[in-house]
Structure 1
Amino acid sequence: MSAGGLDTVGSPAFADEDAALFRAAGWWSDATLSDAVCRNAEFAPDRRAYVDHLGTSLSWREFDHAASNLAQQLAGIGVRRGDRIAVWHGDSAAIHVLFVAIERCGAVVVGIGARAGTREVAAILRNSQPKILISDPERGPTAAQAAGEASVSTLIVDGGPGALRFNVRTQPRALEGDAQLGPDDVFLINSTSGTTGLPKCVVHTQNRWHYFHQKAVANGSLTPDDVFLPVIPTPFGFGIWTSHTTPIYLGATAVIMRRFTARGACEAIARHGVTVLCCVSTQLTMLMADPACREHDLSSLRVVFAGGEALPYRPAAEFEELTGAKILQFYGSNETGLLSATTLDDPRERRLRTGGRIVPEMAVRLFDGDRDVTETGRGQPACRGPATSLGYLGGADHDTLFTADGWMRMGDLCEVDADGYLTVTGRTSDFILRGGKNISATQVEDTVATHPAIAVAAAVAMPDPVFGEKVCVYAELVDSQTIDLPGLVDHLLALGVSKELLPERLVVVDELPRSSGGKVAKGALREDIRTRMEADHEHS
């Protein structure tokens, strides 16, 4: 593991016996993504590889040629095996060509979300210390500012993906024979999509995503004939396997949007005959609430992969009835990969109300602190297995991410039933402490989302001088519907919802703030409610 050991990342690599086991079981491979691109170019040269919002349509032959051409340009400017190359680029076909080109040079991609701010970008650059930062023209001036703060040089890549060029003259150079990365080498460093603070950098090998890819193929019966619409930003974990690794390993077609909107997604599904939609749960909730899903023909959809947060059952079931697709939820993270997943064979109740069955080879345990409480069926999940990352760059927050004996933690609290199905009951840090009582924000959100006027809900703690904290709910509404707090409370009481889960303030917004990874940015909501309460106090 030349690029994945302790000296490079400061996190524990897999033991040799684990790697041998994973290979023997077929979970890990000796082939790389670059190898898969070459194979696709040979056996399906004219099949569409990537289609994007810019009008680009690349066959696998064209993709392979473009990646080799760009790799030679990178070699010509001095990129060598082991270098780190930061990429801050909008989602398009070009970014996937660029990722494979960097791999062919033996370099490591430092992936930065397209919507990141300069403060976040500069922090990632300081942490990862790349040789250069490559951006697109849209981010060029901002990239130069962020790179300057981190003392990193910049390049801009422009032009159609078939003829990508940098904004400096280069003399293409043939690649060295042993330059290309191996499947166990670090090929990607990306960031957490946290809602507060500065991001941490997560270290990835290709084989962890090859394993994840195999589970997705088995659970969703995926084939090279599928057409993917991944709407999660490319550098993040969910975005990596849905837009990069699985389409490339399969040799399938991926349709790339610049930025998710419900209407844009519906238009793309109808236009391209999309069969596999990949999105975080909040995006699917927005899609289900938008009239566009009834204005376009979505009957080509066969499977929807959703993760990140729990889905509201009623609209999810209605979406399945409308489209004929089956929604598959899975549970995991950028750091751990998947711990549980649903399949096409699971009944709807299981698919829409749980995160699926525990994956046996991920060896999931439940903890209370460092105490193993697996037998109770309730606790904080942690795992060891073929889908896990190498941890955080430089060993950052090692004691937070790992238990004392080396199990990689999730930040959630879960229950696992007798049949092995996992349900998230809340985050370790996502509780509202009201008068000494822990109230799960997830449970509040699930109950509030049963109201037909509410498309997406987010519950946060609202400071209170008497109880310490009270329950505040932020909500996006369905189309032109309206709702007030008394009406919402009456609805919940009529359902028999526990009074401790009732919201005590309702804030209706046009759009909830979201992190660069697509999840609701609860840190921004907590700050907003504090600001609102201070303003209320000044005017009282």
Structure 2
Amino acid sequence: MNIANILELQAFRLPEKKAAIFGEDAYTYSSLNAQANKIANALKALGIERGDRVAMWLPNRPEFLTCFYGILKVGAVALPMNILYKSREMKFLLSNSESKAIIALEEGLETLRRIRSDLPLLEKVIIIGQEKEYDDAISFREIVEASSDKFLSVDLNPDDTATILYTSGTTGNPKGAMLTHRNLLMNAEYYATGLEATEDWVGICVLPLSHLLSLAAGVLVLFGRGASMHVIKKFTAEDAAQIISRHKVNYTFAVRTVYTLFLALPDEPRFDLTSLEICILSGAVTPLELRKAVEEKFGCKTIQAYGQVESSPVISLDRVDMKRKFESVGYPLPHIQVKIVDDDDRTLPANEHGEISCKGHCVMKGYWNNPEGTRAAIKDGWLHTGDIGMLDEEGYLYIFDRKKDMIICGGYNIYPIELEELLYENSKVLEAAVVGVPDEKMGEIPKAFIVLKPGKTADGQEILSYVEDRLAKYKKLRAVEFLDALPKGPTGKILRRELR
């Protein structure tokens, strides 16, 4: 079993069908597969073998897809990385994952040069750019042009790791969730079946391809059916809406922020979104009013999906062939068991609130090089999601809150502890706590509450700039409030709920 087999199948079955469209440039299944074969041969010639980790620090462009499949074809593990990451984040992820190679744009070369001396296991830096030679890196263009477009994917064990995606927990150390070929293929198949997807579908990807929702609900679902997908290089609601209107796109998958922006567009023919039929809402529970507004304006069906990186990602879905319950996040996918447990891990009856746990093909293999984190997350095969929810008498799942403190801002996951650790590095900060506060446009935004050291002074803009200069833009603080003291419980633990 190899995820890349699906691309090979479609290249044989539908060679001239448009698979991915980037603006005016369309790539057929046969051309994508041929380019992925070239990359696979190039990687093999560089010594990349089964199980090696290969990082991809790429934006939404064709090479993301061909590199993803090329890496999988040789049996290696793909590590998609957000293009917005800065040196601090890149250094940790490349070190922790023990990546053997990275594929990046020329613009990222200086960042990689600054951190490479701290990454002894990073043997190959492959750069996509105009040059055919680099003093300290390998030219992607040169090695691909020199490679054959014929390659047969390595046959893998279904439980071999396909990708590692980094998430985080309350410890603050990012953890690499290992998702297997079985995880991703089965999840995408049951997801597509629940949506009744066909090869006639035309989808649009408005999120970064490095986002698991884009890979799962986009690439794997649409390519698995032999359908077509438009990819937005850099999202604006205006550009996305015009593509939807012009190309009669019928399927979207996005976070609620995107749909809020669509609704705000003027009623003009170029922004006609009535071709939409299925609109996936993910990332956080969507307000009922927003779902109804989207359905009324565009004449589509909104589908609420629920899951997380560790569940590959979908646990439950509003399946189109089942009764709809707007307040719920749908029904568990086939062969996924869901139960609600209390703090002592005892199963709770219907309609009682507790932590959502799931078991089945969706559960990750574990956290990379983190057995302690794996044991905490997976107990007797059950993944503990950290989310609070309930099941009703008919088995529909509802989610109410996140047991974890993660902030979902415009579809991006932001972990307070990462921001707090950075704030504590500031010589003026005595104590800091970051929480998510409601925002109409972004869903939530991160706000910091700070206690300064005696005799120190700072203003909000100074703190905002300090964080923005050191982390990816989407993680930046949006608000700062200075306090004399943070609220704490009897054990000294900061009471975040009193800050929200």
Give the secondary-structure state (helix, strand or coil) at the position aligned to 1:335.
Answer: helix
**Contact 2:85/2:472, CA 8 A, preserved across alignment:** no
Alignment of 1:110-129 (within 5 A): 110-129=79-98
Pair 167,431 (structure 1): closer, same or farther in 2 beyond 3 Å: closer
1:202-221 maps to which residues of 2 (within 5 A)? 202-221=177-196
For 1:524, the equivalent position in structure 2 comes to: 477
Q: Contact 2:447 / 2:477 at 8 angstroms: preserved in 1?
A: no
Q: How far apart in 2 are the matches of 1:58 and 1:355?
A: 35
- How far apart are the structure 2 equivalents of 1:517 and 1:400? 28
Q: Deviations over 1:285-344 (max 9, x none)?
A: 333334478851212211011111111222321211121111101111110232221122
Distance 1:178 1:373, change over 3 A: closer
| Residue pairs, 1:269-418, within 5 angstroms | 269-291=244-266, 296-336=271-311, 337-346=313-322, 350-351=325-326, 353-359=327-333, 361-375=335-349, 377-396=352-371, 397-403=373-379, 405-418=380-393
Give the Cα–Cα distance (whole angstroms) in 1 for the partners of residues 227 and 234 of structure 2. Answer: 21
Paired position in structure 2 for 1:102: 71
Counterpart Cα distance in 2 of 1:145 and 1:249: 40
Separation (CA, whole Å) in 1 of partners of 2:384 and 2:268: 37
Structure 1 position 37 matched with structure 2 position 7: yes
Q: For the residues of structure 1 that align with 2:388 and 2:143, how far apart are their CA atoms?
A: 53
1:424-449 CA deviation, whole Å, 9 max, x = no partner?
111114499xxxxxxxx99x95xxx8
- Does the aligned pair in 2 maintain the 1:111–1:191 contact within 8 Å? no
SS in 1 for 2:369: helix
TM-score by length of 1: 0.71
Does the 8 Å contact 1:75/1:175 carry over to 2?
A: no
In the alignment, structure 2 segments of 5+ residues that lack a partner are 131-137, 408-434, 452-467, 485-500
Alpha-carbon distance in structure 2 between the residues aligned to 1:91 and 1:136: 11
SS of the aligned residue for 2:68 comes to helix
Greater percentage in helix: 1
Report percent identity of matched pairs.
24
Question: Aligned partners of 1:139, 1:399: CA distance in 2, in Å?
Answer: 36
Distance 1:400 1:426 in 2: 20
Matched, 1:145 2:114: yes
CA contact (8 A) 2:38 2:150 kept: no
Question: Which of 244, 250, 254 lines up with 2:219 in the alignment?
Answer: 244
Aligned residues: 427
Cα distance, 1:392 vs. partner? 0.8
2:316/2:329 contact within 8 Å kept: yes
1:185-204 pair list within 5 angstroms: 185-192=160-167, 197-204=172-179
**Alpha-carbon distance, 1:96 to partner:** 0.7
Q: Deviations over 1:378-436 (max 9, x none)?
A: 20011110111112101351243124x3421112111222222222111114499xxxx
Quote the residue 2:38 is aligned against.
69
- Say if 1:252 and 1:165 are closer, same or farther in 2 by CA, change over 3 A: farther
Q: Secondary structure at the match of 2:480?
A: helix
Deviation at 1:370, TM superposition (A): 3.4
Structure 1 unaligned runs (5+)?
1-29, 433-440, 466-512, 535-540
Measure how far apart 1:462 and its partner are.
Answer: 8.1
**How far apart in 2 are the matches of 1:78 and 1:292?**
55
Matched letter for residue 119 of structure 1: R
Residue 279 of structure 2 aligns to a residue in which SS? Answer: strand
Q: Give the alignment's Cα RMSD to 1 decimal.
A: 3.4
Conserved in 1, the CA contact under 8 Å of 2:73 and 2:152? no
Which whole-Å CA distance do the structure 2 matches of 1:258 and 1:459 have between them? 24
Gap change, CA 1:122 and 1:305, over 3 Å in 2: same
- 2:18 — aligned with what? 48
